[in-house]
Homo-oligomer: A and B are copies of this chain.
Amino acid sequence: MKVTIKDVAREANVATSTVSRVLSDNPRISDETKKRVNEAIKKLNYKPNPIARSLAKNETRILGVVLPSDANDLLANPFFINAMKGMSMYAQSKNYYITYAFSKNEENEVENIKEMTSSNLVDGVILLRVRENDESVRYLKDKKFPFVVVGRPEYPNEVLWVDNNNFQAMYKVVNQLIKKGHRKIGFAGAMKNLNMSRDRFEGYKKALEMNNIEFDENLVVHKDEFKEYEGESACKDLLQNKDITAIVTIDDLLAFGVLKELRRQKIKNIAVVGFNNTQLAQHQKPPLASVDINADKLGYQATKLLIQTLEDNKESETTHYIVDTEFVERKSFISNK
Contact = CB atoms under 8 A, between A and B. Distances in A.
Interface in A35-65: 47, 49-52, 54-55, 60, 62
The 3 A-B residue pairs with the shortest CB-CB distance in the complex, in nearest-first order: A88-B102, A97-B99, A49-B120
Interface stretch (A75-83, A156-164, A207-215, A310-318): A75-83
B102 A100 contact: no
Contacts of A283: 280, 283
A308 interface: no
A78 to B, nearest CB: 6
9 contacts: A49-B55, A51-B60, A51-B120, A74-B81, A75-B82, A75-B85, A88-B100, A92-B101, A99-B99
Nearest to A96: B99
A194 to B, nearest CB: 23
A84 interface: yes
A133 interface: no
Contact of A121 (B51, B76, B119): B51
A118 interface: yes
Contacts of A82: 75
Contacts of A100: 84, 88, 98, 100
Contacts of A220: none
A89 interface: yes
A279 interface: yes
Contacts of A119: 47, 50
Interface in A269-310: 279-280, 283
A119 B52 CA distance: 11
Contact of A89 (B49, B54, B102): B102
A172 B315 CA distance: 62
Interface in A75-129: 75-76, 78, 80-82, 84-85, 88-89, 92, 97-102, 118-121
Given A51-B54, A55-B55, 17 more contacts: A2-B120, A47-B118, A50-B120, A50-B121, A51-B55, A51-B60, A51-B120, A52-B55, A71-B85, A75-B81, A80-B81, A88-B101, A92-B101, A97-B99, A279-B279, A279-B280, A280-B283
B279 A76 contact: yes
A52 B52 CA distance: 8
Interface in A140-182: none
A54 B81 CA distance: 30
Contacts of A71: 85
A182 to B, nearest CB: 28
Nearest to A63: B99
B120 A47 contact: yes
A92 B116 CA distance: 12
A119 B17 CA distance: 21
Nearest to A256: B283
Contacts of A118: 47
Max count, chain B CB within 10 A of own CB: residue among A51, A85, A88? A51
